[in-house]
Amino acid sequence: MGVKIPSTKGAKDQMRAISSQVIDQMVVEVEEMARNSVEIGKLARERRRFSCENYPAPPMCRDTCLIDKELYLPKDWVADDQRCEIAGIPLADRNYRSHQQIAVEMIERIDVWGVAYDWIGMDAEFGNPALLHDLDDQDKKFLIDVKRTLKVYPRCPKIRTRTKGRKGPLKKLSYTAKSVAIENLIDGRRWKRIQVRNTTKGPLIAEIQQRVVWLMDNRTGKSHPYHLVIRRDRGKVQNRIKYSLSNAPQNISLEELSFMQAQRFWVEHAIKECKQQAGMSDYQVRQWRAWHHHFSMVMLVGLFMMEERLRFRDELPLLTAGDIWTLLFGLLPRKTDTRNGLLQMIQTRYRKREQGIKRHYLKE
């Protein structure tokens, strides 16, 4: 299901609102209550993609909704046919895919759907050079978080020698520049204070610095220049530093890069709203189809909440998903409004609890 959001124009910074397709990973820790639950192991990783549009409505941009989902299957799951059969996983989906492969497939789907976006954003789990080179080759603009230990070249590396290896045609390359970890490229004199976004407690100010670095494509032996964006937050989490790489045009401003980097906050905000108001974390299913059904409903609820906020943006710019949930809870009729309804609900819960205990003991 694709969601295409109409664009608007911002008056303050004269920057058109940018829709960004953001891929994020949320790791959900699951107790080993059921060995045959699709989302178990010790961790269940769910891939969620968001289409995010930034609107200048003060003080926050909340117009973000979930439009796609993927369930990550670890290698031990794929190798266990019995476990997959019990969980109802189709044969076509019983193949291992890395995080990066899932990300590429989701981007391909959103292109087929025709959803408009200006850049791609991902967290550091996806920020490996191979994926960056693939997106760059496809001329897809991105700003992707990377780990602080990623090694880059501070200046353009050139091939210095090309010698034969010991085993025949194998080539060994050496370069004029030396790679370094990006955490070692911080220059204490280059920090610039920039307002990255508005919050309910006033403008959020961060310290940003940017420089150009190069990554080598081991497949072709060519180097690619990227913007390295380093952000340092001053607040409750002192000196928290974030690193990102982008293939944005060379003439892009530092303010635009910092704006792009800050948009992943709204992905986390959307996940939080879905967990609190749309029941994302309340599922108790153990089957492949049931998991997808549940998250499809969560996506629909998220879309509804976003549409309601857009609908009342002028009259109620501070309307939240929690407000919408409270209104619906108070206005819609419920079976538990009466004394008999409450008693019936408790009796149903008790009966199911009792049946579940007996079922487990019968198995033994």
Report the alpha-carbon distance of residue 298 to residue 1 in Å, rounded.
12
The verdict on residue 136 lying in a domain is yes
CATH code where residue 165 lies:
3.90.350
Q: Chunked in runs of 10, what are the mean pLDDT values of the chain (364 residues)?
A: 36 31 34 31 32 33 80 91 92 91 91 90 89 92 94 83 53 69 93 87 89 88 92 74 94 93 88 90 87 92 91 87 87 75 84 82 66
Element (H, E) at 45: strand 43-53
The verdict on residue 346 lying in a domain is no
Structural domain that includes position 52: 19-332
- pLDDT at site 32: 27
- Closest Cα partner for 275 from 284, 264, 283? 283
Cβ(212)–Cβ(227) below 8 Å = yes
- pLDDT at site 336: 65
% the chain with pLDDT above 90: 37
The count of domains in the chain is 1
- pLDDT at site 18: 28
The verdict on residue 311 lying in a domain is yes
The verdict on residue 343 lying in a domain is no
Cis peptide before 6 (omega within 30 of 0): no
The verdict on residue 52 lying in a domain is yes
The verdict on residue 42 lying in a domain is yes
For the segment 188-216, what is each residue's pLDDT rounded down to a tens digit? 899 999 988 877 778 888 999 999 999 98
Report the alpha-carbon distance of residue 269 to residue 267 in Å, rounded.
5
For the segment 289-343, what is each residue's pLDDT rounded down to a tens digit? 999 999 999 999 999 999 998 998 888 888 888 898 888 888 887 766 677 878 8
The verdict on residue 175 lying in a domain is yes
Distance from chain centroid for Cα 277 = 19
Report the alpha-carbon distance of residue 117 to residue 263 in Å, rounded.
13
The verdict on residue 351 lying in a domain is no
- pLDDT at site 221: 78
- pLDDT at site 126: 87
